[in-house]
């Protein structure tokens, strides 16, 4: 069954902004739909590049 563990939602912007707020609401919906914990991880910097790099390294 997918996912077999917690899900990390990478947000390439700082906490507190509109993107972060929407991501946290989305995380609640995902958690309900998937039956798994969903963690929002903010990776701000370099106009979203740090978040994109984190996504590429994700498992």
Kindly list the domain boundaries of the chain, sorted by start residue.
7-46
Give the pair of three-digit tokens for residue 22. 């929407």
Cβ count near 12 (within 10 Å): 21
What's the rounded Cα separation, in Å, for the pair 29 and 57? 25
What is the value of pTM for the model shown? 0.84
Residue 1 has pLDDT above 80, yes or no: no
Name the band, by pLDDT with cuts 50, 70 and 90, for residue 59: confident
Cis status, amide bond into 25, omega within 30 of 0? no
Q: Show the CA angle centred on residue 15, arms to residues 20 and 22, nearest 5°.
A: 10
Could you read off the pLDDT of 3-45 as tens digits, one per residue? Answer: 899 999 999 999 999 999 999 999 999 999 999 999 999 999 9
Question: Contact 8/41 with Cβ under 8 angstroms?
Answer: yes
Asked if pLDDT for residue 57 goes beyond 90, the answer is: yes
């Amino acid at each position: 069954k997918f996912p077999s563990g917690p899900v990390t939602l990478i947000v390439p912007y700082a906490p507190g902004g509109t993107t972060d707020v929407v991501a946290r609401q989305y995380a609640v919906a995902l958690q309900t739909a998937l039956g798994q914990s969903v963690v929002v991880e903010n990776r701000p910097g370099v106009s979203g590049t740090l978040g994109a790099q984190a996504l590429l390294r994700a498992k």
